[in-house]
Amino acid sequence: MSTPQAKLFIDHKEIPLSVYSGTQDDRAIDITKLYDEHHIMTYDPSLGNTAICRSEITYIDGGKGILRYRGIPLEQFDRPTPNFIEVAWMLIFGRLPNKTELDEFRSLLSEHELLHEGLRNQFQVLPAKAPPMAILSAMISMMACYYEEFLTVVDDQSIAEASARLISKVRTIAAFTHRRSLGLPFIYPDPGMRYCANFLHMMFSIPYRQFTVEPEIEDALNLVLILHADHEQNCSTSAVRVVGSAQANLFASCSAGVSALWGPLHGGANVKVMEMLESIYRGGRKPEDCIEAAKDKTNPFRLFGFGHRVYKNYDPRAKILKKACDRVFAKLKTQDPLLNIARELEERALADDYFVERKLYPNVDFYSGILLRAMGIPTDMFTVMFAIGRLPGWIAQWKEAHENPGTRIIRPRQLYVGNPETRYVPIEER
């Protein structure tokens, strides 16, 4: 069967272009040879309408608010005891693991949960109050200095080994960052604990006083990490793919992902949401003022946690998180006034023409912070939590690109609009 074609008419010429279909309704016009053969570029400055790869990992239908990992709707992971490690393995290796595979991966994680002493000592030279995302990005990049055997990964076993080091150590790095910021001793990981419980232990235990991990909190953390685990070609994942396309190693590529995620329009939005909710709570501003400020085009303020490039409907992750907030507070028999403020903001925004016309709905960052706060995680660690969750997705996307023999270095073009040819003017003539 021949590939369906589109036709581009330009300068009285007709150019046939192949059209590819995904396994869902999406179609994409192949313009890869357009410049080489016809000297024409496509213009899509923020790549909002450009598929940069074919991928089998995650599917999003932004209009309908659908998100699936390896074909499984996200809602199916919202169960009593969700498991982040299982999802991580599935994203990386393409299918749900059987019990042996999962146990082996868990053992690898336990084996590699400590930091190399050289890496641990780096904390002493960094300022205690350094931004946690700067520390995380630097530490992941520095892992390349200590695990040189993984600068080239050749097969599934070495990917599993490298992934286990990354996924396990990132949690230790995050907890140590928090401890150091408070001047508290590092608490070493406990190999007998599950992934999320172990993280909470490293964050909150103190010598001779073991932190008790409530099962509700452990489950909520598992869920938060699962909901962040992949989101196809978002800004940080694209950064990972761009860096990886130069055949840069997994550590360098994931470190780039952390840097991109830090931005307030991306993962950093969860911190901004919390700052906004807290300022409303403390009486610094009113919910209606936030809505008005977000609508005012002369004001750079945005309603953080609202809007999305792809979702023109309720972000399914936000829906699950909102429900999880209610569930966790009910189980813990506590409340958080910030949850009511968030609900009020949402209600106002969804009834306002500005947000309705632009199809701006709560995104993943709107309710995640409230859950993280319920776990005792401080605001400056929120984006780090997003990074821990997103790491399996970055690894899976890097692996998919790395294994595809058709992957070329990602190198976009530009439409030059600067000076035409001019001449160098010596300084004394200027």
Q: Is 162 in the site for ligand CMC (CB under 6 A)?
A: no
Could you say which of 308, 315, 336, 402 is catalytic?
308
Residue 272 · residue 429 · CB < 8 Å: no
Residue 178 designated active-site: no
Residue 29 · residue 19 · CB < 8 Å: yes
Tell me the closest approach of the beta carbon of residue 296 to ligand CMC, in angstroms: 9
Tell me the closest approach of the beta carbon of residue 104 to ligand CMC, in angstroms: 32
Tell me the closest approach of the beta carbon of residue 46 to ligand CMC, in angstroms: 6
Tell me the closest approach of the beta carbon of residue 195 to ligand CMC, in angstroms: 22
d(CA 262, CA 137): 9
Q: Are strands 58-61 and 27-29 parallel, antiparallel or unpaired?
A: unpaired
DSSP letter assigned to residue 19: E
Q: Which of 428, 287, 284, 406 is nearest to 346 (CA)?
A: 287
Element (H, E) at 107: helix 99-111
Please say which residue, 70 or 266, places its beta carbon nearer to ligand CMC.
266
Query: Site size for ligand CMC, by CB under 6 A?
Result: 19
Site for ligand CMC in 279-298 (CB under 6 A): 294
Please say which residue, 46 or 414, places its beta carbon nearer to ligand CMC.
46
Judged by CB under 6 A, the residue of 97, 244, 307, 392 near ligand CMC is 307
Tell me the closest approach of the beta carbon of residue 303 to ligand CMC, in angstroms: 4
Q: Is 219 in the site for ligand CMC (CB under 6 A)?
A: no
Tell me the closest approach of the beta carbon of residue 58 to ligand CMC, in angstroms: 13
Judged by CB under 6 A, the residue of 309, 327, 343, 348 near ligand CMC is 309
Q: Is 394 in the site for ligand CMC (CB under 6 A)?
A: no
Cβ-Cβ contacts under 8 Å for 294 (sequence gap 6 or more): 301, 302, 303, 306, 349, 354
Site for ligand CMC in 252-281 (CB under 6 A): 265-267, 269
Tell me the closest approach of the beta carbon of residue 272 to ligand CMC, in angstroms: 7
SS3 385: helix
Site for ligand CMC in 322-381 (CB under 6 A): 358, 360, 363-365
Please say which residue, 162 or 294, places its beta carbon nearer to ligand CMC.
294
Judged by CB under 6 A, the residue of 70, 116, 302, 331 near ligand CMC is 302
Q: Which of 308, 304, 315, 307 is nearest to 276 (CA)?
A: 304
Neighbours of 76 (CB within 10 A): 10
Site mask for ligand CMC (CB under 6 A), range 224-243, x = bound: ----------x---------
Q: Is 64 in the site for ligand CMC (CB under 6 A)?
A: no
Residue 397 · residue 230 · CB < 8 Å: yes
Q: Are strands 13-21 and 27-29 parallel, antiparallel or unpaired?
A: antiparallel
Alpha-carbon dihedral sign for residues 397, 399, 404, 410: positive
d(CA 321, CA 108): 30
Please say which residue, 38 or 302, places its beta carbon nearer to ligand CMC.
302
Question: How many residues are there in the chain?
Answer: 430
Element (H, E) at 7: strand 5-10
Residue 61 designated active-site: no
d(CA 225, CA 220): 9
Binding-site ranges for ligand CMC (CB under 6 A)? 234, 265-267, 269, 294, 302-309, 358, 360, 363-365
Active-site residue list: 308, 365
